[in-house]
């Protein structure tokens, strides 16, 4: 439903987005990751037609964004970065305005607005000027505006930025609920979000696409993917560390923090293979005094740093 081909944007000498090629299909929720200034927002602005690409093409539902802007804009719901809104309007006036621009009139308009209001739960602040609302409510009004016409393509630039954990949870549930029959792109630099809602992750750094795959595949890139964390009595930590280092599938054992007479060890496997069965058997056979043993799925933060700082 969204198709980017060699999308590039230059601002003077700066290349903000550098040849991004990407497809997003129906039913997919793509998490668009990257550090600040990596080109996430610029890419989204080009998909929504707010900026024109320097070179390359963006297609939405088969229409060229540059050639047929009205056709693509009809099919896109867009929450721009920071959720800009007309602060002097009330939520109701604002949503009515959006509904009219989207071509709804009379009963249909009222129905669409009511549905969007219902979905994002803003009924109790609808009569207040938007500028008097809290950040969370503003974000939700922005979200209501984006989903009002039930678009096929939903583009949300940092939809949970600045929300409290409950609000984040609510927005994520909302996104997951709509995912089935839409193509959704959300940008974020919160990595837990990828785990929570995305079926696919794309990482962008310095305008280039450096990863495109499932969140699981992203985790698998982590140095600590499938590593086993062990907590045991400090007294025998050194002995255990040396013992485990001798296991064939273990790359190395890292010593972690020591606290209350307990030591933490992190056993890192060779080539990210699963070693937990082997390790737990080894530990039991030797009779090591292990208090806790846990498999690490890999830290997204590490992968993120690796991918975006490299080169």
Partner 1 sequence: MTNTLVIFRRELAAYFSTPLAYIFIVIFLALAGTFTFYIGGFFDRGAADLNAFFYYHPWLYLFLIPAVAMRLWAEERKTGTIELLLTLPVSTLQVVLGKFLAAWCFVGIALLLTFPIWITVNYLGNPDNGVIVASYVGSFLMSGAFLAIGACISALTKNQVIAFILAAVVCFLFLMSGLDLVLNFFQGWLPRFLVDAVAGMSFLTHFSAITKGVIDLRDIIFFGSLIGICLYVNVVVVDIEKAA
The residue ranges that bind partner 1 (CB under 8 A) are 11, 45, 48-52, 69-70, 73-74, 76, 78, 80-82, 84-89, 93, 97-98, 100-103, 129, 145
According to DSSP, the residues that pair with 12 across neighbouring strands are none
Smallest gap from Cβ 247 to partner 1, in A, equals 56
- The answer to whether 202 and 34 have CB atoms below 8 angstroms apart is no
Cα separation of 34 and 38, whole Å? Answer: 6
- The answer to whether 209 and 220 have CB atoms below 8 angstroms apart is no
Smallest gap from Cβ 48 to partner 1, in A, equals 4
Smallest gap from Cβ 168 to partner 1, in A, equals 22
Minimum CB distance to partner 1 smaller for 41 or for 226: 41
- The answer to whether 268 and 248 have CB atoms below 8 angstroms apart is no
Minimum CB distance to partner 1 smaller for 207 or for 298: 207
Minimum CB distance to partner 1 smaller for 19 or for 69: 69
According to DSSP, the residues that pair with 189 across neighbouring strands are none
Minimum CB distance to partner 1 smaller for 76 or for 244: 76
Minimum CB distance to partner 1 smaller for 153 or for 267: 153
| Structure token digits, residue 142 | 């922005």
According to DSSP, the residues that pair with 232 across neighbouring strands are 263, 290
Smallest gap from Cβ 132 to partner 1, in A, equals 13
Smallest gap from Cβ 1 to partner 1, in A, equals 17
Q: Is 7 left (phi over 0), alpha (psi -120 to 50) or beta?
A: beta
Q: To which residue do tokens 């590593």 refer?
A: 227
């Amino acid at each position: 439903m969204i198709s980017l081909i060699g999308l590039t944007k230059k601002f003077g000498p700066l290349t903000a987005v550098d040849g991004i090629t990407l497809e997003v299909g129906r039913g997919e929720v793509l998490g668009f990751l990257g550090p600040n200034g990596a080109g996430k927002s610029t890419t989204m602005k080009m998909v929504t037609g707010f900026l024109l690409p320097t070179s390359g093409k963006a297609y939405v539902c088969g229409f060229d964004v540059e050639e047929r802007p009205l056709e693509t804009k009809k099919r896109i719901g867009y929450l721009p970065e920071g959720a800009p809104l007309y602060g002097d309007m009330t939520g109701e006036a604002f949503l009515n305005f959006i509904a009219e621009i989207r071509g709804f009139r009379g009963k249909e308009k009222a129905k669409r607005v009511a549905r969007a209001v219902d979905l994002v739960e803003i009924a109790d602040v609808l009569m207040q000027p938007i500028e008097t609302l809290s950040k969370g409510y503003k974000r939700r009004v922005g979200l209501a505006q984006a989903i009002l016409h039930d678009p096929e393509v939903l583009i949300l630039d940092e939809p949970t930025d600045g929300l409290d954990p409950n609000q984040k949870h609510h927005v994520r549930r909302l996104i997951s609920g709509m995912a089935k029959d839409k193509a959704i792109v959300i940008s974020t630099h919160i990595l837990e979000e990828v785990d929570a809602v995305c079926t696919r992750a794309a990482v962008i750094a310095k305008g280039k696409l450096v990863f495109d795959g499932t969140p699981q595949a992203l985790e698998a890139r982590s140095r600590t993917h499938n590593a086993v964390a062990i907590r045991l009595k400090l007294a025998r930590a050194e002995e255990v560390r040396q013992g485990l280092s001798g296991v064939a599938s273990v790359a190395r054992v890292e010593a972690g923090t020591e606290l209350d007479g307990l030591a933490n060890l992190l056993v890192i496997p060779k080539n990210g293979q699963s070693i937990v069965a082997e390790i737990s058997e080894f530990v039991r056979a030797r009779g090591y005094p292990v208090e806790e043993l846990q498999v690490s799925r890999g830290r997204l933060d590490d992968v993120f740093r690796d991918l975006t700082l490299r080169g």
